[in-house]
Chain A
């Protein structure tokens, strides 16, 4: 795999959040999903920067929806995983599983 094609940790989290949310995966929901599940205080700017980067890599595709009143009359941009995105997510999971194999958790000195 060429350098730069792998997924960073935050990119992987974003892709998993998009997968979990399905058709409802847009900036605010992705941010909330990550914040709820990991406890991280993620900013909307970081989420959008990563979503854009993943879309540029061809791992996500974006679709626009009509403006709604609860969004102050603004449109929404939803994301879904592409075929290449599914493949990248599977590969990242496999890499992680391979690296974790044989290790025992929690590690000594760690809290969890």
Chain B
């Protein structure tokens, strides 16, 4: 018998790497006891209630341990900042071209951005030591990329925006998995 999958996902998303395994183990153990005594539906309800009521406290613990600072740094310094700086650089270069034709960014600019974001997110992913942290970094990278796109001067094509938001977490997780397999 297993607890509701979505509640487990919420638990792994909010709990820090120091607590996630122990808290999940404790809840699982009590869930099995409750299921045996009062049935599965009671056990599932209890599990969901515990996860939802503990979410804020577990998030607070995650912030206190410094893990959240790493995630924010990954999102802002490694993904959002380079993207915004590239955007500003391109705006500066563009403003110095006389008689420019149109305001569209060159395809090379978009490609350079994607490569830059992938490299930065991959570096962040390589620094994560646990799966929980790597997942957090990947999520933070996606959020950082989204924020940078939202703040950029030029309107980004939909394909490019989607590519950046997906490529950042993907490269981060790929490098984490590669490092773990070695």
Contacts and interface: CB of A to CB of B under 8 A. Distances in A.
Q: Interface residue tally of chain B, by bracket?
A: 20 to 34
Interface in A11-52: 26-28, 31-32, 43-46, 48-49, 52
Given A43-B50, A45-B54, A71-B28, A27 B23 contact: yes
Given A70-B32, A75-B21, A44 B61 contact: no
Contacts of B56: 45
Interface in A50-72: 52, 67, 70-72
Secondary structure dominating the interface of B:
helix
A91 interface: no
Interface in B37-52: 50
Contacts of B60: 49
A10 to B, nearest CB: 12
Given A43-B53, A45-B53, A48-B61, A27 B22 contact: yes
A31 to B, nearest CB: 8
Contacts, number: 71
A27 B23 CA distance: 7
Given A49-B57, A49-B60, A52-B61, A44 B25 contact: no
SS class, residues of chain A in contact with chain B: helix
A46 B30 contact: no
Given A72-B24, A74-B22, A74-B24, A28 B29 contact: yes
Contact of B22 (A49, A70, A77): A77
A28 to B, nearest CB: 4
Given A74-B21, A74-B24, A74-B25, A32 B30 contact: yes
